[in-house]
């Protein structure tokens, strides 16, 4: 069986997230598996680098699947795109080693969160930004973000129920830039917990709105208590930008 690594873009607005679920067919994984199974004539499973929540977008989700086919990767990409709805597309496809796994081998991920910091609405990007009308203090948010860089237990910043899985992650960088009337957050790290980026953004926004001191972030991190962190920023502002592999 050949193993294909695809790069996928989607506008998450219409979907119940990436991961297949019992109670709905409206997930991206279910769409892909149904389509690939039809193309292959036998059951195909697809493994993404990680799930994305309902409403979260992707510019560069990565996923792999095994399939017997005589098509080149380019031809296969064309076939898949022919059947995908217009808010999903495969933008790259290549063949990889049979043992490659998109989740297990992911080394690094980059997420972007877009905040429209203006009282004038965005017509064209309205589905991709979270609007905050009051002015944000970018310098204060940068100071707060500096407490988060490095390898820490991010238990305060996840909605995941208590479990055996480690909540230690390494955040390599958090860049916060004002771009026109937007404030954009770029997160790079080895992996992110359930809701982690959105809770980090919510907490940083509370600093940017002077509801919380920048230095408070150190305390929140050390507390390992979700109750100490800020609000869950809406899904619409978030996008998975890129997943990196050694291969």
Residues at the site binding a second copy, with contacts judged by CB under 8 A:
9-11, 57, 59, 77-78, 81, 86-89, 91, 119-124, 126, 128
Angle at alpha carbon of residue 167, lines to 166 and 171, rounded to 5°: 125
140 contacts 214 by C-beta, under 8 angstroms: yes
Q: 11 or 206: whose CB is closer to a second copy? A: 11
Q: 133 or 177: whose CB is closer to a second copy? A: 133
Angle at alpha carbon of residue 26, lines to 21 and 31, rounded to 5°: 95
Catalytic site residue 53? yes
Q: How far is the CB of 161 from a second copy (least distance, A)?
A: 33
Q: How far is the CB of 222 from a second copy (least distance, A)?
A: 39
Q: How far is the CB of 12 from a second copy (least distance, A)?
A: 10
57 contacts 8 by C-beta, under 8 angstroms: no
Tell me how far apart the alpha carbons of residues 208 and 134 are, in angstroms, rounded to a whole number: 9
Angle at alpha carbon of residue 48, lines to 45 and 50, rounded to 5°: 135
Q: 9 or 69: whose CB is closer to a second copy? A: 9
Q: How far is the CB of 89 from a second copy (least distance, A)?
A: 5
Q: How far is the CB of 122 from a second copy (least distance, A)?
A: 8
Q: 75 or 166: whose CB is closer to a second copy? A: 75
Q: Give the DSSP letter of residue 229.
A: S
Please give the helix or strand (H or E) that residue 28 lies within, else none.
helix 28-40
Q: 41 or 74: whose CB is closer to a second copy? A: 74
Query: Per the residue annotation, which of 53, 153, 216, 246 is the catalytic one?
Result: 53
Nearest to 64 by CA among 107, 108, 20, 33: 33
Tell me how far apart the alpha carbons of residues 12 and 10 are, in angstroms, rounded to a whole number: 6
Query: What residues are annotated to the active site?
Result: 53
């Amino acid at each position: 069986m050949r193993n294909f690594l695809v790069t996928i873009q989607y506008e998450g607005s219409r979907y119940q997230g990436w991961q297949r679920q019992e109670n709905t067919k409206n997930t991206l994984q279910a769409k892909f598996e149904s389509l690939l199974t039809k193309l292959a004539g036998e059951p195909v499973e697809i493994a993404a680098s990680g799930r994305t929540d309902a409403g979260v977008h992707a510019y560069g989700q990565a996923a792999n699947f095994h399939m017997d086919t005589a098509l080149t990767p380019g031809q296969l990409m064309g076939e898949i795109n022919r059947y995908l709805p217009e808010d999903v597309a495969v933008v790259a496809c290549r063949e990889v080693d049979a043992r490659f796994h998109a989740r297990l081998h992911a080394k690094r991920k980059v997420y972007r969160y877009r905040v429209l910091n203006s009282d004038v609405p965005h017509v064209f990007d309205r589905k991709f930004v979270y609007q905050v009308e009051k002015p944000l203090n970018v310098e204060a948010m940068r100071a707060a973000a500096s407490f988060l860089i490095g390898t820490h237990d991010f238990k305060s910043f996840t909605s995941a129920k208590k479990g055996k899985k480690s909540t230690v992650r390494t955040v390599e960088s958090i860049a916060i830039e004002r771009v026109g009337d937007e404030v954009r957050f770029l997160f790079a790290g080895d992996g992110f917990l359930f809701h982690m980026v959105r809770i980090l953004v919510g907490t940083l926004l509370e600093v940017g709105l002077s509801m919380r001191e920048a230095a408070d972030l150190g305390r929140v991190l050390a507390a390992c208590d979700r109750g100490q962190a800020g609000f869950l920023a809406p899904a619409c502002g978030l996008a998975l930008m890129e997943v990196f592999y050694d291969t």
